[in-house]
Amino acid sequence: MLTQIARTDHEPAAKEAVNRAVLHLRQGDVVALPTETVYGLGADALDPVAVAKVFEAKERPAFDPLIVHLPHRKWLTQVATIPAGLEEVIARLTETFWPGPLTLVLPKTDRVPDIVTSGLPTVAVRVSNHPIFKRIVKELDRPIAAPSANRFGRMSPTSAAAVQEELQGRIPLIVDGGACSCGLESTIIRLEPASPKPRIHILRAGPVTADHLKPFGKIAKERRNESVEANAPEAPGMLQSHYAPGKPLRLLDSPAAFRPEPGLRYGLLSYRGEEEDGYLDLAPWTQVAVLSPGSGKLPEAGVRFFHLLRQLDRAGDVDEIIAEPVPDRGVGAAIMDRLRKASASRPQSY
């Protein structure tokens, strides 16, 4: 299959790209689409045959559910039901964060095929804020199921070039909407009625942080589920081993935790690139990629995360990627979640 790239850098091209994407989606094809978080591999969410092509192209296991992207907020009650006692908080959350990088897990309606939810009684839904994605889903006027546009378990793509690297020859079209503005997958939450405020379970950390969500309810304390590999995950991105580069990645707790192995060449994924943090002098790094040079701004680190991780993965003079920790708060919680899961994929031998 020849994979074509449709550019959107000027209006005539953008209009043509939107039309081509909608035509493919109506024909039951899968298309790589830009969102504000990462690029997604989209299919008509109400067409189970089309959704099956997403799993095939990604080599994604059938037990891992997909996120459904809605054309607009009014579509919510067509694909999901609002539990009693949660009507007000869900209205406030969607008014505040939609369109945007917040995904809600809610009981699904019969309109949503079981393949989308991996047989679960719930569906993960959001409304994207990317201008090109919004045009496509509005023109299609149907929800789009769209996990990240990469092979299963690997790094999420934040550019059309990264999608091409992952899925060349597997899909017919990539819509190039430029670099993603968030760079990390959406925050996924599940709500539970409680008094005096509903309980908010953060199933996957993302750009909408716990601090953003606190005004809407009590943030539940979550324990990392080490056995989720053996069970159906409740939402996308919850598998313990995920987001991994092709090369082994090791997440350090501190500089003292690094023990280099003879003969291996190391690349460093650094938070600030500052000597005082204690990592720059640990080894003769062949590559150093800095998430937020000097300033240590977590939102900037989030935007650059997958791009720099992919850069180190492609480097010919790096055998293993060593990652510094970042502060485990705000967007940093999402970065650390991805680093832990990528590190969990690290082979034990070379």
pLDDT digits (tens, 9 = 90+) for 229-280: 445 688 887 777 778 899 999 999 999 999 999 999 999 999 999 999 999 9
What Rg value do the Cα atoms of the chain yield, rounded? 20
Would you kindly state where each structural domain of the chain is located, as residue ranges? Answer: 4-176, 249-344
Q: 67 - beta bridge partners? A: 124
pLDDT of residue 349: 37
Tell me the average pLDDT of the chain.
Answer: 94
Global pTM reads 0.94
What percent of the chain has pLDDT above 90? 90
Q: Tell whether the model's pLDDT for residue 51 goes beyond 70.
A: yes
pLDDT of residue 226: 45
Contact predicate 291/270, CB 8 Å: yes
**pLDDT tens, position by position, 226-239:** 444 445 688 887 77
Query: Interhelix angle for 131-140 vs 11-26, to 10°?
Result: 40
Looking at 3.90.870.10, 3.40.50.300, 3.90.420.10, 3.90.1420.10, the CATH number of the domain 4-176 comes to: 3.90.870.10
| pLDDT band for position 223 (cuts 50, 70, 90) | low
pLDDT of residue 237: 76
Tally of CB atoms within 10 A around 95: 9
Domains 4-176 and 249-344 share a fold: no
Question: Strand 187-192's sheet: what is its strand order?
Answer: 4-7, 173-176, 31-33, 40-44, 144-145, 67-69, 122-126, 102-107, 187-192, 199-204, 218-219
Residues 6+ apart with CB under 8 A from 61: 55, 152
Report the alpha-carbon distance of residue 157 to residue 144 in Å, rounded: 18
Domain range 249-344, CATH architecture: 3-Layer(aba) Sandwich (3.40)
Q: 122 - beta bridge partners? A: 107
Tally of CB atoms within 10 A around 67: 29
